[in-house]
Amino acid sequence: MESNCMLTIQKVLLGLGLLLFSSLATAQADTTALSVDLSEITISDSLPAVEAQGQTLDAALGGFTPLSELLSDRSTVFIKSYGLGSSATISLRGGSASHTQVLWEDIPVTNPMLGVTDLSLLPTQLFSAIRVDSRGSSSSIGSGAISGVISVAGARPSEAGWLSELQLGVGSFGARSVGLTVGQLSVKELDQRQETFSWTMQPYYHRADNDFTYQLVNTARQQMHADYENRGVQVGMDKQLGRSQFSFNYWVQQTDRLLPPTSTQNFSTASQYDFFHRVRVGFRRVGKLGSFKSVVAYFNETNDYSDPERLEYGENNFEKYFHSSTLERAVWAGKFTVKYEGTHIEGQSLSYLENRNTYKQFALYGALEQIIGGLQVAAGLRREWNNIATPPLIPSLRLGNMHPVHHWYLQLSREYRVPTLNELYWTPGGNLELQPELGWNREGGYTYDDQQTRATVSVYDRSVDDWILWIPQDGSFRWSPTNVAEVTSRGWEVSLRHKRNLNNVQLYAEGSHAYVYSVHRSDVPAQSIVSGDQLIYTPRHRARANVGLICGGVALDWNTNYTSGVSGVNDNLDGYVLSDLRLSGKINLLQVLETQMVFTIENIFNQSYRVVERRPMPGRYFQVQWTFKI
């Protein structure tokens, strides 16, 4: 049965792949980006592990698509997308985009000028681990983690020897992708200690015209001026000698994109250029009673905007120096952690006040974790000093049990966000009198896991005062950020997953739902906000259903997402349902070249929808991904 299943689906996959490759190379009218997944796709591990307070995503499900699309398809978080190739930000548990911190190799990469991370600039195929933690994490992470944290880490060889994979992709709307993952893991035995060295290099390139056709009232219109081009390379090295480990990471990327007109504009001349260097060096030493870790990092990032038609230009750049050292020590039936962080940022912009562009931060964090009578107790405290707006003490307390099947947790934490450089120094409008956003987060959760069935539920209640909004000042046309809003966010997240094996066929089904009640607690007349109004672009409901089967190394997966309607700046947007179908498997070409292939139909029912007002989204389109192990 297994061999017949494999043979049949391999023929289907190969036929579809050759047909699509040849047809898409010459005609690109009705299909989109076929991206190739170069990271190894382990089909048997294609089910994401959902935690009570977050989710671990399989990077192989994303291929060459950006992280924003993977999160939107495979989780219940809301991604505010301006369209294919355009910027995309996250709203987690009703927070703003500046309330979710993004970590790359444990280093914050959120733009300190904007206060947000454009998730469309993070290619999924670069990462071996993607984790969304929806707990409030200001105490341990710092500013900008009110709603939670997204953590990503680069690919690393998992077995001794060479790693060499070629990644190719082709798609409609001019989409083309190519990437290479090469690396090596060597292991040596020296006396009574082991020495290992690994390195990985991942160059990549992706481009697309994104000229899809969309519905506008009763007519069809083609999106123009939406070209997207992204190229870069990520390098990682790890050296382990006995109990000590040294690590080095480097990532350089350049992104050029034309910004399309909105559905109410006839044309656009706007464009955006993003470029960054990111360097990280780390050291870790593990002892019998604890460990010590130290990391230094340097970022240099540029974001330029140009619109000749409107005579609007923006040249923005920042340099960031970061250092963190963490000491963990075994204490009684647990451990004690103390961490130091130092950050120095220099921001440059044509719109900044002269000599007003620096952010300096120093922070200390301590935590004690203990197991007391079957309960796990963790208490943390953070103290931060900076030259912008120093927050108060930030405590956190977490309780949970240690049962392997039934697990529950409770958490109480203080949360905060320091104003961004743009909010302080932008001219005109910057406000040097801004205070940090401050709030309290209360949450709890329960998980049942017996290996076949996993059920989770979590509830939360968060209040944030001094929420910063840009509003017009004194009846003029000048907008300025102000600590004017008070917001309450509460809701729940539930998920259920079950898997079963039947005669060499693995079946699985998963469902999840997130309810978000995130409202203003006071009126904001300058923006026509009334107490009780839901935050704009914050859906009350996000739901997901996923079913599939795995037969002899070949997988068939159906995924459906529902997003309820939202209020926009000018208009309300209707809710929508999007479904996609994914078929994947391994093919041995000529019995020599091992190939992983994935065929996906996105938005299979050709749903017409908008995530952001006047920003069109594509209808039905296709993706094909290949991985060649060399």
Looking at per-residue confidence, does 154 or 46 come out higher?
Answer: 154
Q: How much of the chain, in percent, has pLDDT values that exceed 90?
A: 72
State the distance between the two ends of the chain, measured CA to CA, in whole angstroms.
30
Q: Burial code of 109-139, b = ≥16 C-beta within 10 A, e = fewer? A: bbbbbbbbbbbbbbbbbbbbebbbbbbbbbb
Separation between Cα atoms, residue 6 and residue 142, nearest integer Å: 49
Q: Calculate mean pLDDT across residues 332-354.
A: 92
Mean residue pLDDT across the chain: 88
Q: What is the CA radius of gyration of the chain?
A: 25
Separation between Cα atoms, residue 381 and residue 370, nearest integer Å: 15
Contact call for residues 398 and 415 (beta carbons, < 8 A)? no
Q: Is the peptide bond before 428 cis (omega within 30 degrees of 0)?
A: yes
Which of 201, 197, 207, 234 has the alpha carbon at shortest distance from 104?
234
pLDDT of residue 555: 93
pLDDT digits (tens, 9 = 90+) for 483-514: 999 999 999 999 999 999 988 899 999 999 99
Is it the case that residue 33 has pLDDT exceeding 50? Answer: no
Is it the case that residue 41 has pLDDT exceeding 90? Answer: no
Phi/psi at 140 (5° precision): -90, -30
pLDDT of residue 200: 95
Contact call for residues 274 and 302 (beta carbons, < 8 A)? yes
Alpha-helix runs per DSSP H in 390-509: 421-425
pLDDT of residue 99: 97
Contact call for residues 223 and 212 (beta carbons, < 8 A)? yes
pLDDT of residue 64: 82
pLDDT of residue 475: 67
pLDDT digits (tens, 9 = 90+) for 591-624: 677 888 889 999 999 999 999 999 999 999 998 9
Question: How many C-beta atoms surround the C-beta of residue 89 within 10 A?
Answer: 21
Which residue ranges form the domains of the chain, and what is each CATH number?
2-262+271-353+362-629 (2.40.170.20)
**Residue 324 CB-density burial (10 A; 0-12 exposed, 13-18 middle, 19+ buried):** buried
pLDDT of residue 25: 35
Looking at per-residue confidence, does 162 or 284 come out higher?
Answer: 284
Amino acid found at 298: Y
Separation between Cα atoms, residue 102 and residue 126, nearest integer Å: 15
Contact call for residues 259 and 268 (beta carbons, < 8 A)? yes
Q: Calculate mean pLDDT across residues 473-480.
A: 78
Q: Model confidence at 6, in pLDDT bands (50, 70, 90)?
A: very low
**Residue 474 CB-density burial (10 A; 0-12 exposed, 13-18 middle, 19+ buried):** exposed
Is it the case that residue 28 has pLDDT exceeding 80? Answer: no
101: CB partners within 8 A, 6+ apart: 108, 110, 137, 141, 142, 143, 144, 145, 148, 149, 150
Max mean pLDDT range (34-48, 103-117, 464-478): 103-117
Contact call for residues 161 and 169 (beta carbons, < 8 A)? no
Q: Model confidence at 309, in pLDDT bands (50, 70, 90)?
A: very high
- According to DSSP, the β-strands at 375-386 and 394-401 are antiparallel
